Amino acid sequence: MTAKLPKRPQLTREELQQIRWLLGNALTLLAAWTVFYMDIEAWTLMVLTSVAAGVMLVRPDLPGRVPKVVHTLAFPAIVTFFAADLWIKAELLPAMVRLDMLLLLYRTISYRQRRDDLQLIVLGLFLIVIAGVLTVSLTFAAQILLYTACALAFLLVITLTDGSAAGTPAGAAQPQALPAWAQHVSWIHLARRLRVAVDWRVIGMAGILFAGVVGLSALLFLAIPRFQLESGMLLDRFITKKARSGFSDTIRFGDVTEIQQDDAVALSVDVSDRAQIPATPYWRMLVLDHYDNATFRLSPALRSAPNFEPERSAAFITGRAVPRRGRTVFWTFYLEPGVSRYLPLLGHFERLRFREQQTFRTAPLLAVVQLRTEPVTMAAYQVEDFDLSGTVADRSYGQRWRQRDEPAQARGGLQVQLGISERDRATVRRLLGEAQVDGGLEPAVFAQRVNRWLRQRHAYTLSPVIPEGEGDPLVRWMASGEAGHCELFAGAFVVMARVAGFPSRVVTGFKGGSWNAYSNNFTIRNSDAHAWAEIFDEAAATYGAWLRSDPLGIIADGESDAMGGEAAIEARLDRSWTARLDSLRVFWYRRIVNFDRGSQLETLRAAKEATQNAGKRFREAVEQALRGVKGWLTAPWDGGRVIRLVGLAATGVGLVWFWREFGRSWWRKWRGRKPRAGFDPVRREASRWLGRIEEERGAVPEREAIVLELRRLRFGARSTWAAPEKIFRRAREGLRAVRKSR
Amino acid sequence: MSDFVPAAQITDARQAVDRLRTNMQRTIRGKDDVLEQVLVCLVAGGHLLIEDLPGVGKTTLAYSLARSMDCVFSRIQFTSDLLPSDVTGVAIYDETVKEFVFKKGPVFANVVLADEINRATPKTQSALLEVMDRARVTIDGEPHAVGSPFMVFATQNPVDYEGTFPLPESQMDRFLMRLRMGYPEPGDELEILRTARGGYDAIALNPVVTRTEILGLQALAHQVFIEDSVLDFILKIVAATRTESEFRAGVSVRGGVALRSAAQARALVHQRDFILPEDVVELVAPVLAHRLALARQSSDALEERRAVAAALKRIVGSIPLPQ
């Protein structure tokens, strides 16, 4: 038989209640001291609350001596204070802080029930949060930690006290009723009891856990701003493989087609003016100018300055589009995660705005924006006024192109080089001959003819076959007449154009999309992924521009307006169930995304002004009333005025007398005729007088008889009542007699 | 039910109750609180179970009450071989009239002392069910009314369970109250030592109230007014016992009605024609405790009684009194 361990002494319920009081007041002090960190005029209240909390901590029996009238008037007084504060000072936050402080003060001078204790925590938390927003200081951090630990211990003690006795005696529900635990408090004795009753190993474990949580939070706090949140949290490993198949700056033949296999939504676009929607939108993402062995990529020359600007962080980008007349058209993009770090755009734009500051690089002349990393959550941005001409004006390139023969001019960024052999070039030249085009043609005409020739020679397929053989695979395909996909068509165009002497490049992105009939926005899916070409025309757009040339579509020139606007929407309208589901996603995005901080600020400013104006009007009304009273008092006194004043006073006194003598009893009779649940004015009045007499410790004359009669009024049958007014009067007189005798 | 009791009737009731109390105090010393509960039970028209150790005055109390009233009194000593017919009576074939004649049992009285009721078998205990509920006995399909007023005054010992049969819950529910006598205070016990003479026959008390007066008191108690907030208070107490996890089952509807009746009777005993919340609070333990059993079984009967009383006290404390 094992020896029985001695049982650890348990804290009594009263002792737990004392600890609860101690922790509650400590929380109040910690919360009140947050005023030190705020530039808010609440010093008087802070001092009052601190003193009250300290005094009530030392003497927990004092709340029992607070007169009942304080508790009766507390609520209306606090509400009035808050309303007056709000109207006169006309500032919401400081008024709320003062209200909070006042509530803390009241909770400190009254015995608290469970709900009051919980309210105390919330009140303190409010102050802590406000102070936390307004300040950054190490002392405050220590205070928050202390508050958190204190609040946790407080909650634990609340749970323990409530668990040790479900429910409290009905009498303790009164905030001024002196509870048993508060009658003989000795903090020294309690400390001794705590020392023997508390298992310090548990306290130690709790301390270690708390320190662990605080340490981890501190580490995260310090670490997160130093690198991207998503990489810091290792979020990228949760990105699905499908989402990783997005566009990059290197495209091998088949990459775009692979993206097309995925039918998921890649992009949703809200347009503020439906009339501006082009017939076939081409959502450009990336320009690929270097070709080598079945791979198009962004060349280092194009990737560097002056094309790509250095990386920077900002919330908006100013674009190169020529400002258009009329109302600004807003294009709001919701880019799904994993699509690309290159933002889909319709061309040059006036302004691009992010929800929050982003780190990015821009290529203004290429109309390309590249985020530092691929977003792992939905990325939203808003574009103002796209250049919807279907061309990408590039004045700088035009200048360089015109000076291409000068020795100092670098050939790298001219987008005319080709990584193919001379034999392949010869093949391409032969094909150019077959297509009956040469470098002497206008670029637009050249593009039209080549595209037509390519479409006639090759069919479209998602599973192309490139013939085996020597030389470049693209040239082999061009020479074969096999069917191909968009990358092969675009690549073939670029190769033919460059061999013919035209600057050209491949562009990747999305083409078209559907118009969601439920949420009224463009929905672009991965299956809309596309590759097309651009050819430079030095005569276009005054100083030269890149014309879109889609061998699988039509050349941009002159196409746009004919089928744009409502007609384009009608042609792309999607009313399917998928569209219904997609619309939910867009509704959500619209709810959480807000670019318009200006309107938010405007609303806040308007609210502030309204409050200030109301406070001003209130002050004016009060001042006017005071002036009126002053004027009336200072006006010369004559007999008529005196008579009127006396008459007014007499009427007032008469009304009061009439009400007390008859009005109240009539009122009670009238209300008592149809007694409602829980409401009978006589019973309520009797209950009130019973409470007053019970609280009165002095000798009330005829106390027993009065109490019996009052009890009859409160609990007896109505038919046995004898003149309630007289009984109330007796009670009133009895209480007055006691007070006078003191 | 009228909500108005004439003051004269209240005065008469007060006088009758005072006479009874004073008369009983001559033999029961220092137990005014128990006497008041007994009077409340009598005025409410209920049955009483007194549970305590042997020799603390349970039977004396019953004798005192019976002899203070102008009523028929009978005593049944319950034993394990007692048959139901020994309590209720039996039909005997009468050779002279050539038919069965009902011979009344000891239950046909106004005050029946069921001494050590838990020593009888459940079958015999159950013989009391009908008579306690409806004040009549049915033998061979024929009802026989017992005395009016009718009160069963049962005693039992909570500790000595050897050879006893605990009363079933349905039987316990028929008792309006369960009381404990407890030991007298030293001063009162000294007086008892000085004056007590052996045997119950030595209890020399004259009747001070008539049977009609008792019936009048019981009728008057039903007219005592109950305000809605007090009824609501009773309802909340009863409902709380049904949700309290410590109890196997809550108080029955009969239990709630019993609490109301007892409170009405207490108000009348205190010369009031309306109930105060204090009436209810005072009667919660005696009226409800014996109707409740702990969810966890306890081998110690006294411990169980204490736990039930503590839980009830907590429940009453958690419900605000109508102010």
> Distance between CA atoms of A45 and A294, rounded to whole angstroms?
77
Domains of chain A, by residue range, sit at 13-166+175-185, 596-635, 641-741
Which residues are within 8 A (CB) of B199 and not within 5 positions of it... i.e. 6 or more apart? none
* Phi/psi at A344 (5° precision): -65, 130
What does the CA dihedral A67, A68, A71, A72 come to, rounded to 10 degrees? Answer: -130
pLDDT on residue B48? 92
- Measured between beta carbons, the chain B residues lying within 8 angstroms of A717 are 3-4, 225, 273-274
CB contact under 8 A, A711 and B3: no
State the DSSP code for B166: P
- Reported in sequence order, the residue ranges of A376-477 that DSSP labels E, i.e. its strands, are 379-386, 391-393
Chain A to chain B, count of Cβ pairs less than 8 Å apart? 54
Cβ of A373: how many Cβ atoms within 10 Å?
12
For chain B, give the number of residues.
323
Please give the distance of CA B272 from its chain centroid, rounded to a whole number.
22
pLDDT on residue A181? 82
Looking at the complex, does the CB of residue B237 fall below 8 Å from at least one CB of chain A?
no
Residues B311/B247, Cβ–Cβ less than 8 Å: yes
pLDDT on residue A379? 85
Residues B175-194: tens digit of each pLDDT: 999 998 888 888 888 887 77
> Distance between CA atoms of A719 and B289, rounded to whole angstroms?
35
pLDDT on residue A5? 43
What does the CA dihedral A283, A288, A289, A292 come to, rounded to 10 degrees? Answer: -140
| Rg from Cα positions in chain B | 20
**Beta partners for A292?**
A295, A419
| Positions of chain B with pLDDT lower than 50, given as ranges | 1-3
The number of C-alpha atoms within 13 Å of A511 and in the hemisphere containing its C-beta is 20
Q: What angle, 0 to 180 degrees and rounded to 10, lies between the N-to-C axes of helices B7-25 and B32-44? A: 130
pLDDT on residue A268? 92
Per DSSP, the residues of A549-602 read E-TTS--STTTTGGG-THHHHHHHEE-SHHHHHHHHHHHHHHHH----HHHHHH
* Secondary structure of residue A714 in the 3-state scheme: helix
Residues B211/B70, Cβ–Cβ less than 8 Å: yes
> Distance between CA atoms of B175 and B49, rounded to whole angstroms?
6
CB contact under 8 A, B317 and A715: no
Which residues are within 8 A (CB) of A212 and not within 5 positions of it... i.e. 6 or more apart? none
> Distance between CA atoms of A532 and A526, rounded to whole angstroms?
16
Residues A61/A18, Cβ–Cβ less than 8 Å: no
- Measured between beta carbons, the chain A residues lying within 8 angstroms of B273 are 716-717, 720
* Phi/psi at A465 (5° precision): -120, 120
Which residues are within 8 A (CB) of A704 and not within 5 positions of it... i.e. 6 or more apart? none
- Measured between beta carbons, the chain B residues lying within 8 angstroms of A711 are 274, 276
Residues B91/B100, Cβ–Cβ less than 8 Å: yes
Most B CBs within 10 A among A676, A708, A715, hence the mutation to make, goes to: A715
> Distance between CA atoms of A99 and A80, rounded to whole angstroms?
10
Alpha carbon separation from A503 to A94, A408, B304 (Å, rounded)? 65, 19, 100
Q: What angle, 0 to 180 degrees and rounded to 10, lies between the N-to-C axes of helices A473-480 and A486-500? A: 100
Is the bond preceding residue A323 a cis peptide, omega within 30 degrees?
no
pLDDT on residue B145? 86
List, as ranges, residues 263-292 from B with C-beta within 8 Å of A. Answer: 273-277
**Beta partners for A352?**
A317, A383
Looking at the complex, does the CB of residue A722 fall below 8 Å from at least one CB of chain B?
no
- Measured between beta carbons, the chain B residues lying within 8 angstroms of A168 are 317-318
> Distance between CA atoms of A154 and A724, rounded to whole angstroms?
48
- Using the structure block, give the residue that is written with the tokens 């239950």: B107
CB contact under 8 A, B276 and A718: no
- The sign of the dihedral angle between the CA atoms of A177, A180, A181, A186 is positive
- Using the structure block, give the residue that is written with the tokens 């009777």: B265
State the DSSP code for A312: E
CA of B10 vs chain A CAs: smallest distance (Å): 13
Cβ of A308: how many Cβ atoms within 10 Å?
18
CATH superfamily ID and name for B1-221: P-loop containing nucleotide triphosphate hydrolases (3.40.50.300)
pLDDT on residue A198? 80
CB contact under 8 A, A715 and B314: no
Element (H, E) at B88: helix B84-88
> Distance between CA atoms of A49 and A607, rounded to whole angstroms?
31
The type of residue at B245 is S
Domains of chain B, by residue range, sit at 1-221, 224-323
- Measured between beta carbons, the chain B residues lying within 8 angstroms of A713 are none
| Positions of chain A with pLDDT lower than 70, given as ranges | 1-9, 133-138, 163-176, 218-247, 407-413, 554-562, 591-608, 668, 671-679, 698, 742
- Measured between beta carbons, the chain A residues lying within 8 angstroms of B266 are none
Backbone torsion region of residue A312, taken as left when φ is above 0, otherwise alpha when ψ lies between -120 and 50, otherwise beta: beta
CA of A114 vs chain B CAs: smallest distance (Å): 13
Residues A267/A333, Cβ–Cβ less than 8 Å: yes
- Using the structure block, give the residue that is written with the tokens 């009133």: A732
The number of C-alpha atoms within 13 Å of A468 and in the hemisphere containing its C-beta is 0
Angle, CA A338 vertex, CA A267 and CA A341 arms, to 5°: 85
CA of A715 vs chain B CAs: smallest distance (Å): 5
Nearest to A339 by CA among A269, A267, A434: A267
Residues A360/A312, Cβ–Cβ less than 8 Å: yes
CA of B179 vs chain A CAs: smallest distance (Å): 24
Query: Which residue of chain A comes nearest to B245, CA vs CA?
Result: A166
> Distance between CA atoms of B269 and B33, rounded to whole angstroms?
12
Residues B34-44: tens digit of each pLDDT: 999 999 999 99
Nearest CB neighbour to A167, from listed B4, B318, B322: B318
Looking at the complex, does the CB of residue B3 fall below 8 Å from at least one CB of chain A?
yes
A343: its two tokens: 């933002």
pLDDT on residue A718? 82
Most A CBs within 10 A among B1, B222, B227, hence the mutation to make, goes to: B227
Most A CBs within 10 A among B233, B278, B284, B318, hence the mutation to make, goes to: B318
- Reported in sequence order, the residue ranges of chain B that DSSP labels E, i.e. its strands, are 48-51, 73-77, 89-94, 99-104, 111-115, 136-139, 142-145, 151-156, 177-179
CB contact under 8 A, A717 and B318: no
CA of A704 vs chain B CAs: smallest distance (Å): 14
Most A CBs within 10 A among B2, B222, B228, hence the mutation to make, goes to: B228
CB contact under 8 A, B314 and A712: no
Element (H, E) at A291: strand A290-292
- The sign of the dihedral angle between the CA atoms of B93, B95, B99, B102 is negative
- The sign of the dihedral angle between the CA atoms of B269, B272, B278, B284 is positive
The type of residue at A612 is Q
Residues A347/A386, Cβ–Cβ less than 8 Å: yes
Regarding pTM above 0.90, the answer is no
Looking at the complex, does the CB of residue B165 fall below 8 Å from at least one CB of chain A?
no
- Measured between beta carbons, the chain A residues lying within 8 angstroms of B225 are 715-717, 720
Burial grade of B314 (CB within 10 A; 0-12, 13-18, 19 or more): middle
- Measured between beta carbons, the chain B residues lying within 8 angstroms of A712 are 274
CB contact under 8 A, B3 and A712: no
Angle, CA A134 vertex, CA A128 and CA A136 arms, to 5°: 90
CA of A719 vs chain B CAs: smallest distance (Å): 7
> Distance between CA atoms of A395 and A557, rounded to whole angstroms?
19
- Reported in sequence order, the residue ranges of A320-457 that DSSP labels E, i.e. its strands, are 330-335, 349-363, 368-371, 379-386, 391-393
Nearest CB neighbour to B317, from listed A169, A711, A714: A169
Residues B269-307: tens digit of each pLDDT: 998 999 999 999 999 999 999 988 888 877 777 788 888
B19: its two tokens: 């006479």
Element (H, E) at A535: strand A529-537
**Beta partners for A267?**
A335, A524
- The sign of the dihedral angle between the CA atoms of A384, A388, A390, A394 is negative
Nearest CB neighbour to B4, from listed A168, A691, A717: A717
pLDDT on residue A170? 40
Nearest to B17 by CA among B45, B4, B36: B36
Angle, CA A199 vertex, CA A194 and CA A200 arms, to 5°: 90
Which residues are within 8 A (CB) of A228 and not within 5 positions of it... i.e. 6 or more apart? A372, A373
CATH class assigned to B224-323: mainly alpha
Most A CBs within 10 A among B229, B230, B315, B316, hence the mutation to make, goes to: B229
A305: its two tokens: 């300055």
B305: its two tokens: 């009684």
